[in-house]
Structures are given as structure tokens and as C-alpha cells.
Amino acid sequence: MGRFRDALGGQDLGAIAEVKRRSPSAGDLRPGADPAVLAEAFAGAGAAAVSILVDERFAGSIADLAAARAATDVPLLAKGFFSTEDELAELRHAGADAVLLLIRDLTDGRLLQLMRAADRLDMDALVEAHDGAELKRALDLGAAVIGVNARDLGTFDVDRAAALDLIAAAPGDRVIVAESGISARAQAGAAELAGADAVLVGSALMRASDPAEKLRELLARPLVKVCGLTREEDLAVAAEAGADLAGFILARETPRRAPAVLPVPDTMLSVAVYVGERGDATSDLVQLYARENGHRSREGVLLRGEDQVARVVDRAWQRDDPEHLDRARAAGGRVMLAGGLSPENVREAIEAVRPWAVDASSSLETAPGIKDHERVRAFVEAAR
């Protein structure tokens, strides 16, 4: 296992932060970007690796790779359009720990030769696929690190949903990187829940006034869910405040029942909440509780499709639950902490549990299903 692959193989979602002065699809992004300064800043902000565009079509060069190498010890990915062993050797000499290989541009035989050459040079190969056929080729050839690009390099269109399905279809013994179209925590979270080990982020960082701070924002946990939404105006406030997940309760026994799963902006994920029986509303995720004595159980699951992607640790129904945080702290895996959270106590709960997400509903209301906008904003701010 090379340095690059090893850096992406941790338990938490990793990030490959990209230095990219321009893009063929978006034009100039950050023409004066200094790869040494940015690589050092990205490493300090938590990047698992840094990607350097070395192709002139992106206003990049191999000198940029060498400058980044001199500035930081973080693993470096060289990105461009490569087809020969000599190019790989040049990249390795300039400091690359990994190289991007575009499966669409290479025959199986050539790709396999380049993967073997990278291995001889002590480099990892990030083999990039865009569709199911390309993913199958990458898997069949034994690629250990696979990038799933949501952007069609021919049309430049981004299809996040199709990319997430490809990520979910990949076997768990490969390192999977979600590429393109990620500019918000919820989008990174969606890739994580689909099974990505890391996200590659370029344009969103290059457009930000402070690229390193933008990277910190994308990686920040916990995600924040505002639940019990029933009105578009409340959803708009939650989105504007920076909430990542929008919860719509569709269980029959609650006064907070939503009329439907409302459309959410692409900076958020929608969550349909059910008790007992799962319905068929269209949503990004499902939060499902068992029904006990006519009410929901105090523990639930978060589902992506049919797959459980997190545990929901909630309080007992309408009564004190002094073991609530202890149970959450002891829970294994990814945890969404719910039940009794408010702007006043969420920070303390986060420090105690370190959950993947936090979830509040009734404490943010003026009446069941009607949100207090100032408390919604205060909850999101406190959870950050």
C-alpha cells in the first residue's frame, strides 16, 4: 500500500484538496494560485492528500508539483492526461505519490501497463471511472484506488445521483474517491454514506475566499439535521442557516407530520422519517424507528436505499432518559444523536458523544411543526 492509498484508508471521510487555476468547463478559478502556499494550507486544514493539476489546459505544470512537494510532506496526486511510462517517471521525480489514470482514454492493456509502472515507481494509481462499464473495467483490472467522477468529461454535466449509485456498487475492498461537483457538507456526506472513502474537491476550494477554511467546512462534523419541517419557509431558514439535513416526519401519530417530503436545495439532504412502516416517499435518506406501545422506539436507523448507514440514538418517548448520552457514546459506528437537543445543550452533547450528526425538532418550535427561526439559526450555529 502506497502513501496516497494509505492516507485515504482511515475510518473517517478523507479529502483530496485540489490546486487548480482554471477549468475547461468553468474558465479561470484562481489564476494566481500558488501551489506551495495552498498545499501547505490544505495539509494544515486536514487534507489527506493534495492534487496538483500539471496540464497546461488547467494552467498547471510539473513545476507546480515540485513546488508543492517542497512545501509539504502530505501525499501528492498528479492530475493530467497521462499515457506513457516516461510521464509517470517524470511525475515521480517531481514528487508525486500518485497519478491519475483516465480509464476512458486508455485500453485495458495500456492501463494495466501504467498501473504496473506506477507500482514499480512506488506510486499509487487513481483509476478514474465515469460510468458502470468503466467501473467494471477498473475492478476487473485490479485497480486498488478508484475515482468515480460525477462529471461527464465530454459534456461537463454533473450527475451526482448516478455517481453515488456507482460508489455504492463498488466492493468494500477498494479505496473509492468521489470526484467533482462537491461544494457542500451534505454532498460530501452523501458520498460518505454511499461508501466513498474520500472526496476530491477542486473548484469549490479555488473559488472560496479562504480555500483552507472551505476545506475545514466541508469536513466538519457533526452534520446538522433540522427535523419536523412542514413548511417551505421553515425549510428555507434551515438551509440559509447552514443545516445539512432536512427531516420530514411522515409517521401517522405525530402532530409534526409533514404533508410531503419538500424539495430541498442541493446543499442539503432530505430525510423521510417513519415509525413502524416505511413509506414510499422520495427522499435522499430514510430515518426509521420501530413502533413500541403506540409510539416510536428510542433507537432507530438511518437508511440509504436498503442499506443502514448510521444508528439513530434518541431518548425514550416523552420522558427523562438519563442514560441517553451514555448509550450514544457507547454505540459503535456512525451515530446520529437525537432527542432533547437544543441550542442550549447541543454543544455539550457533541463534546460528550462526538456524533456524526445531531438532530433537533421540538426544541426549535413555537408550535408543533412551526419553527422558531431564531432558534433554528441558534441551533445550527451552536452545533458548528
Co-location of 299 and 234 in the same domain: yes
Mean pLDDT calculated for residue range 258-281: 95
Query: Given pLDDT bands bounded at 50, 70 and 90, which one contains residue 316?
Result: low
Strands (E), 251-356: 269-275, 285-292, 295-304, 307-313, 335-338
**In the beta sheet, which residues pair with residue 360?**
226
18-27, pLDDT tens digit by residue?
999 998 777 8
34-79, pLDDT tens digit by residue?
999 999 999 999 999 999 999 988 889 999 999 999 999 999 999 9
70 vs 68: CA distance, rounded Å:
5
The answer on pLDDT for 255 being more than 90 is no
Set 79, 214, 225, 371: catalytic member = 79
Set 23, 149, 203, 270: catalytic member = 149
The answer on pLDDT for 323 being more than 90 is no
The answer on pLDDT for 246 being more than 90 is yes
End position of a domain, from candidates 197, 219, 241: 219
Q: What angle do CA 50, 51, 55 make, to 5 degrees?
A: 150
Is the entire prediction scored with pTM above 0.85?
yes
Mean pLDDT calculated for residue range 358-373: 96
Query: Is residue 371 among the annotated active site residues?
Result: no
156-202, pLDDT tens digit by residue?
788 899 999 999 999 999 999 999 889 999 999 999 999 999 999 99
Query: Is residue 344 among the annotated active site residues?
Result: no
Co-location of 236 and 153 in the same domain: no
Co-location of 113 and 235 in the same domain: no
The parent domain of residue 142 ranges over: 3-219
The answer on pLDDT for 120 being more than 70 is yes
Closest to 77 (Cα-Cα) out of 179, 207, 213, 206: 179
What pLDDT score does 317 carry?
61
Co-location of 239 and 176 in the same domain: no
Co-location of 140 and 261 in the same domain: no
pLDDT above 90 coverage of the chain, percent: 81
The answer on pLDDT for 3 being more than 90 is yes
Set 40, 51, 87, 128: catalytic member = 128
Co-location of 210 and 244 in the same domain: no
HSE-CB at 316 with a 13 A cutoff on CA atoms is 8
Co-location of 253 and 171 in the same domain: no
Set 40, 87, 179, 192: catalytic member = 179
Q: Helix, strand, coil: what percent of the chain each, to 5? A: 35, 25, 40
What pLDDT score does 355 carry?
96
What pLDDT score does 56 carry?
86
Query: Is residue 179 among the annotated active site residues?
Result: yes
Element (H, E) at 179: strand 175-179
The answer on pLDDT for 287 being more than 70 is yes
How large is the angle between the packed helices 160-169 and 132-140, nearest 10 degrees? 30
First and final CA of the chain: distance in angstroms?
35
Q: How far is CA 121 from the centre of its chain?
A: 31
**How high is the mean pLDDT of the chain?**
94
> In sequence order, what DSSP letters do the residues of 102-166 get, joined into one string?
EGGGS-HHHHHHHHHHHHHTT-EEEEEE-SHHHHHHHHHTT-SEEEEESB-TTT--B-HHHHHHH
The answer on pLDDT for 302 being more than 80 is yes
Structural domains counted in the chain? 2
Co-location of 239 and 197 in the same domain: no
More confidently predicted of 285 and 316? 285
Burial class (CB in 10 A: 0-12, 13-18, 19+), 39: buried
Co-location of 123 and 23 in the same domain: yes
Mean pLDDT calculated for residue range 82-91: 97
Query: Is residue 40 among the annotated active site residues?
Result: no
Preceding peptide of 259 cis, ω within 30°: no
Set 20, 214, 225, 371: catalytic member = 20
Query: Is residue 149 among the annotated active site residues?
Result: yes
Mean pLDDT calculated for residue range 355-362: 96
Co-location of 245 and 195 in the same domain: no
What pLDDT score does 319 carry?
63
Co-location of 142 and 193 in the same domain: yes
End position of a domain, from candidates 219, 238, 267: 219
CB atoms within 10 A of CB 52: 29
Co-location of 229 and 206 in the same domain: no
What pLDDT score does 27 carry?
86
The answer on pLDDT for 139 being more than 70 is yes
End position of a domain, from candidates 171, 195, 219: 219
The answer on pLDDT for 318 being more than 60 is no
What pLDDT score does 293 carry?
76
CATH number of the structural domain spanning residue 181: 3.20.20.70
Set 51, 180, 270, 283: catalytic member = 180
